[in-house]
Structure 1
Amino acid sequence: MAHTPAVPVDMTAAVLTGFGGPEALRLQRVPVPVPGPGEVLIRVAAAAINNTDVWTRQGAYGLPGRPDALAGWRGPIAFPRIQGGDIAGTVVRVGDDVVGEWVGRRVLVDPAIYDRPSDDANPVGLLGSEADGGFAEYVTARADQIHDASSSPLTDEQLACLPIAYGTAMGMLERGRLREGETTLVTGASGGVGLAAVQLAAARGARVVALTTPDKSDAILDAGAAAVVHRDGDPATTAAAIAEVAPDGLDAVIDVVGGPLLPAVLGRVRDGGRWVIAGAVGGARIELDLRRLYLHNISLVGSSMHTPAHFRRLVDDAVTGAIHPRVAHLFPLGAIHAAQEAFGRSDYVGKIVLTPP
């Protein structure tokens, strides 16, 4: 039996006290959580920052019929809340009814809270949003949310890059049925989800056309893109540039941008192609000629995060070393405000990762 390490009574955590600016996020001493039945306690080794963390703090998700209402991604948030859905660490305690020898194992945590116990379950909550997350020294998670990553060649900081960004990208690729040899366009390719999609699509043998800015092109090519198209303010110009590097059309589009680019580029998608969308930073409302969809049997697929089956495939890629997440910057947990400020500047490629004391 593994030795159970000593666990302190309290810990440092970044606690979200309500919706607002950076002042709503406070470093505090709080009790170390106790794992309940079916749960484990994890000593956090690294936790990455996502748009979800910032948008949840800002209450930027709105509500049905009330787009300007302050809300988390699934609605109300119970404050105080410890944020952070990207978690890698080591199991130090287990609760009752946990099967297996988990203490001492390095794990990657699936941050999704699912609607049912099924391989194709839908995420209806998230660690760091609907439950406390990993911007702390310790976090609890259900035993069925943790995955053994002890044999992965990735560092803890690299593992922490995976759950939300790479999980979301994996969900998009799986729902878009992307296959080896196909040509896919990845929008927003320098962002967390976009870069993950480039790496994951290239790893499965797809030809990736990436949409990004000129200053980040080399990093995107290094990540596995076959061609880069520079983002232009005019969607028609961007569509023409995509046509030059993909003259035979696109089998799939992995889109985290949305906005007017969708109707402008839809005509470049082959018959039977798929357009998968998981973001709307380019605009949430568009005008679309539906004939371009049904006359060409094109599927328009919404994708929010991943399923348990998608996440297991992601862990397999992490264990085999098929992907190599890029850590752009490391910050100690105590510098979380500086980390979120750096995150907001978007002048980097990769992920920003926090390490607890």
Structure 2
Amino acid sequence: MTTHKIPDQMTGVVLTGHGGLEKLLYRTDLPVPKPGKEEVLIRVGASAVNNTDINTRIGWYSKGVTGQTNAGAAQGFETADDDDASWSGIPLEFPRVQGADCCGEIVAVGELVSSDRIGERVLVRNLQSATSQGEFSCITYGSECDGGFAQYTKTPASEAFAVQSSLTDAELASFPCAYSTAENMIDRVGVKANETVLITGASGGVGSAAVQLAKRRHAKVIAICGAEKVEQLKELGADIVIPRGESMVDVLGHHSVDIVIDLVAGDQWPELLDLLRRGGRYTVAGAIAGPIVELDVRTLYLKDLSFFGCTYQPRSVFENLIQYIERGELKPLVAHEYPLQHITIAQQDFMAKKFIGKLVLLPPEENMHENR
């Protein structure tokens, strides 16, 4: 059902295959998706750029790739194998509309969805349930299905969460992927008040979200970031900020932190385990500095450490995130906004890492709507 005049065609960006920036194609003749029986059609207000968009495009998730994300972010990786180049290890179907973040308005519903939902302002859950495939199974919005890099998108009604907020679409679109990833890590590892938490890559989307979410739980936060971003991370709430590249052990000492929230990996990774106290917890959801690290297994078992790899998210993570937003407990960090057709510029700026927070993409102006 619909009360909004929906065109037959729309503008969007399609990924035509794994590779460089040339694989992103801006088109104005894409068919507007039609919602299935239990789905909703959303007019997109804003989306955002994430590491997973770039990692998927360049095939970084393939076991044939061992380098850091930026090594192939513009040209792709020749060593990537299309058969395992998606985050799930299942070959992607092309063309694909990417975009794991989406804030928008429901403009049509399937026949089994209440028409009362038309007009709702929503955020789409980026890690969606795939319960038929067993425990810890999920799909990523914008990967296994089309996402938010278009004027319209569809999703199961159960994955479109109503949100009541005075924030702009761009601000709301900065939350779903980064903040749910960070909240999932924090929840999975069980961050408690007064614990000392070290966060790598703290100026990025997930890292800056983790700083806010860990402080929300009254933890002591140590942030690692580029030297030029130290003061901004302190303003965000970090108690201690260490410029990236400095020896963390020299600054903090051995056995000095309870929890490591890692998004970077790379050459400095062994130091993270040296920093952890006995019984400490390590959680990871990214490896932008390189996925292959050196692990001394003795450190792992002699210190009774616990490791948490975090991809799958229970529904409660996104439900909590919506509540935090509606209560005004989180600060959106939109560094810059771009028209959707400038997606390659946005991704190049994203790779340059000269900002804190999120880069947001806006669809063509004629499809923008006023925030309520």
TM-score by length of 2: 0.88
Structure-1 residue corresponding to 2:13: 14
Amino acid at match of 1:306: Q
Equivalent residue for 2:136, pick from 81, 103, 122: 122
Question: Where do 1:187-266 residues align within 5 Å?
Answer: 187-232=200-245, 237-243=247-253, 249-266=256-273
Aligned residue for 2:4, secondary structure, equals coil
Alpha-carbon contact 2:266-2:287 (below 8 Å) kept: yes
Q: How many residues end up aligned between the 2 structures?
A: 348
Question: Where do 1:166-177 residues align within 5 Å?
Answer: 166-177=179-190
Alpha-carbon contact 2:255-2:274 (below 8 Å) kept: no
- Distance in 1, matches of 2:135 and 2:324, equals 21
Aligned residue for 2:131, secondary structure, equals coil
Correspondence 1:69 to 2:81: yes
TM-aligned CA distance change 1:121 to 1:224, over 3 Å: farther
Amino acid at match of 2:270: P
Equivalent residue for 1:156, pick from 156, 162, 169: 169
Question: Where do 1:1-357 residues align within 5 Å?
Answer: 4-28=3-27, 29-63=29-63, 68-70=80-82, 71-74=85-88, 75-99=90-114, 101-116=116-131, 122-149=136-163, 151-232=164-245, 237-243=247-253, 249-304=256-311, 306-357=313-364
Alpha-carbon contact 2:10-2:32 (below 8 Å) kept: yes
Amino acid at match of 2:118: V
- Distance in 2, matches of 1:179 and 1:26, equals 45
Which has the larger displacement, 53-62 or 257-266? 257-266
Aligned residue for 1:81, secondary structure, equals coil
Which has the larger displacement, 68-77 or 103-112? 68-77
Alpha-carbon contact 1:113-1:126 (below 8 Å) kept: yes
Aligned residue for 1:172, secondary structure, equals helix
Amino acid at match of 1:207: K
1:65, distance to aligned residue in structure 2 (A): 10
The root-mean-square deviation of aligned C-alpha atoms, in Å, is 2.2
Aligned residue for 1:267, secondary structure, equals helix
Alpha-carbon contact 1:271-1:297 (below 8 Å) kept: yes
- Distance in 2, matches of 1:142 and 1:303, equals 23
Amino acid at match of 1:112: L
Aligned residue for 1:86, secondary structure, equals coil
Which has the larger displacement, 51-60 or 192-201? 51-60
Aligned residue for 1:101, secondary structure, equals helix
Output one character per residue of 1:64-116: Cα deviation in whole Å (capped at 9) or x when no partner: 89973132222311111111010000000110212472111110100223231
Structure 1 unmatched ranges of 5 or more: none
1:132, distance to aligned residue in structure 2 (A): 0.4
Which has the larger displacement, 64-73 or 133-142? 64-73
1:332, distance to aligned residue in structure 2 (A): 0.8
1:279, distance to aligned residue in structure 2 (A): 1.5
Amino acid at match of 1:52: T
1:63, distance to aligned residue in structure 2 (A): 4.5
Amino acid at match of 1:239: V
- Distance in 1, matches of 2:230 and 2:3, equals 47
- Distance in 1, matches of 2:138 and 2:65, equals 19
Aligned residue for 1:339, secondary structure, equals helix
Alpha-carbon contact 2:2-2:108 (below 8 Å) kept: no
TM-aligned CA distance change 1:154 to 1:306, over 3 Å: farther
Amino acid at match of 2:361: L
Which has the larger displacement, 309-318 or 138-147? 309-318
Aligned residue for 1:210, secondary structure, equals strand
Output one character per residue of 1:119-157: Cα deviation in whole Å (capped at 9) or x when no partner: x963532111111011000000101101111x2233211
Aligned residue for 1:93, secondary structure, equals strand
Amino acid at match of 1:13: G
Amino acid at match of 1:39: E
Amino acid at match of 2:252: I
Which has the larger displacement, 187-196 or 248-257? 248-257
Alpha-carbon contact 1:36-1:95 (below 8 Å) kept: yes
Alpha-carbon contact 2:334-2:357 (below 8 Å) kept: yes
- Distance in 2, matches of 1:251 and 1:19, equals 39
Output one character per residue of 1:216-250: Cα deviation in whole Å (capped at 9) or x when no partner: 111111211111011126xxx2221133xxx8721
Aligned residue for 2:286, secondary structure, equals coil
1:17, distance to aligned residue in structure 2 (A): 1.4
Aligned residue for 2:142, secondary structure, equals coil
- Distance in 2, matches of 1:308 and 1:294, equals 32
Alpha-carbon contact 1:45-1:356 (below 8 Å) kept: yes
1:184, distance to aligned residue in structure 2 (A): 0.2
1:51, distance to aligned residue in structure 2 (A): 1.3
TM-score by length of 1: 0.91
TM-aligned CA distance change 1:183 to 1:273, over 3 Å: same
